[in-house]
Amino acid sequence: MSNDKDATSVESKGRRYFLIGMTSAASVAGAIGAAVPFVKSWTPSAKARSAGAPKICDISRLRAGELLEPMPAWRGKPCFIVGRTPEDVERLKTEQDDLADAASEKLDRQPAYARNPWRSRRPELGVYIGICTHLGCSPKHRSEEGDFYCPCHGSRFDLAGRVVKGVPAPDNLDVPPYSYLSETEIIIGVDEEDLAAAKDLDDAPERA
């Protein structure tokens, strides 16, 4: 009789350990299952990575006096790529009395190639973040007036993105890092000294 009780006791313990093990395994599996989408949420989506990737822009179709359309975006911000006529270039060099920061000395974040009358690598082409430095609206390009005008609060910038005096916007438009890949293409988001390293980036450049 004692042997039967011992056998039953051993069998009960075995079942109990088995059930405990199965319950623990199920709990662990459930915790892993719940953690996977949580951890995945830390990983940027392809769309998010794309928004921050450098953008290659074809400028072959851009004419002097025009703004490149469709407008490219970099890091979720619109970018103005504007072609300038010889008259625009000369005017930007000589007409500076009404500008709040003609030499782009106010902003430390401006690249070195923004510290000239055109605020660009080449006088005939300007590249700027198309967001007003007042409250983040998007100014409009006015080809006839030769400027960028923000209709929200009346801020105005010349074709070099320099803010005029007496408007709500406190600073010039930002100049993003960019480089020429050729006479017909630029890349926004990469400076010339970083072009070689950009080939190894996880976020490969995209065409705008």
Mean pLDDT by 10 residues, the chain (208 residues): 51 56 54 49 48 88 95 95 97 93 83 92 97 95 94 96 96 95 96 72 65
Residues 6 or more apart whose Cβ sits within 8 Å of residue 89: 118, 123, 124
Task: Evaluate the omega torsion of the peptide bond into residue 70 and state whether it is cis, within 30 degrees of 0.
Answer: yes
Strand partners, 141: 148
At 44 the pLDDT is: 44
Q: Report the DSSP pairing between strands 140-142 and 156-158.
A: unpaired
Read off the tokens for 156: 């105005």
Cα separation of 89 and 9, whole Å?
A: 96
Cα separation of 141 and 159, whole Å?
A: 9
At 204 the pLDDT is: 60
**Cβ atoms of 186 and 59 closer than 8 Å:** yes
* Number of C-beta neighbours around residue 104 at 10 A: 21
Question: pTM, whole model, 2 decimals?
Answer: 0.72
SS3 81: strand
* Number of C-beta neighbours around residue 82 at 10 A: 24
CA distances in angstroms from 9 to 2, 5, 76, 181, listed in the order given: 10, 6, 68, 80
